[in-house]
Amino acid sequence: MPSRRGEDLEYKVFRMIKNRGDKGILQSQLWKRIKATSREGSRISLRLERAGLIERRRELHEGKWTYRLVAKKRAVNPLSILDLPCAFCPNQDKCGLGGPVSPASCPLLAQWVEKTAYEASKGKVKAEVDEELEA
């Protein structure tokens, strides 16, 4: 069973891999960063793989076979919701269909939906014009 320190290191390694997103990180580079031996490192990566947290992809790097470690789960990113009025809305608990505040009647959500629909249709028209010009 890994020690508490070992668990912390595993968590740290997992966070590092996760923060690299789709690119992942080469096993050999990662061990240099955390100053671990390749033996220690391999053990950690195997444990993470067995726990279903990462994927190890075999890769040839500078003439040597190594593994690229890629997290199965991505780092949580709030950017996709921050432009939406519902994210962190003070009325969130009261909001629901038929309630005093509702996603159906919310003026802020209506504004967002209409603006996004308008921008999308503008983008679509532009793409069509570009296609026609190219043709």
Partner 1 sequence: MGMGDPGKGLLMRVKSTDGEILRLVASKIGGEVAVKLVSELKKRGRATEDDLAKNTNIKLNELRKTLFTLQKFSIITPEIVQDKGSGWMIFYWRLREDQLESIIRTQKRRVLEKLRERLEYEREHDFYVCVNPRCGVRYTFEEAMERMFRCSKCGSPLEHYDNTQIIAVLEDKIAKLEAEIKRE
Alpha-carbon torsion, ordered 122, 126, 127, 130, to 10 deg:
180
- Between 46 and 117, CB nearer to partner 1: 117
- Between 19 and 29, CB nearer to partner 1: 19
3-state secondary structure of 71: strand
- Between 25 and 41, CB nearer to partner 1: 25
Nearest-approach distance from CB 38 to partner 1, in angstroms:
28
Nearest-approach distance from CB 17 to partner 1, in angstroms:
14
Alpha-carbon torsion, ordered 102, 104, 109, 110, to 10 deg:
-140
Contacts with partner 1, residue ranges (CB under 8 A): 19, 73-84, 86-88, 90, 92, 95-97, 102-104, 109-110, 113-114, 116-117, 119-121, 123-124, 127
Nearest-approach distance from CB 83 to partner 1, in angstroms:
4
d(CA 100, CA 62): 63
> Given the structure tokens 């629909």, which residue do they identify?
117
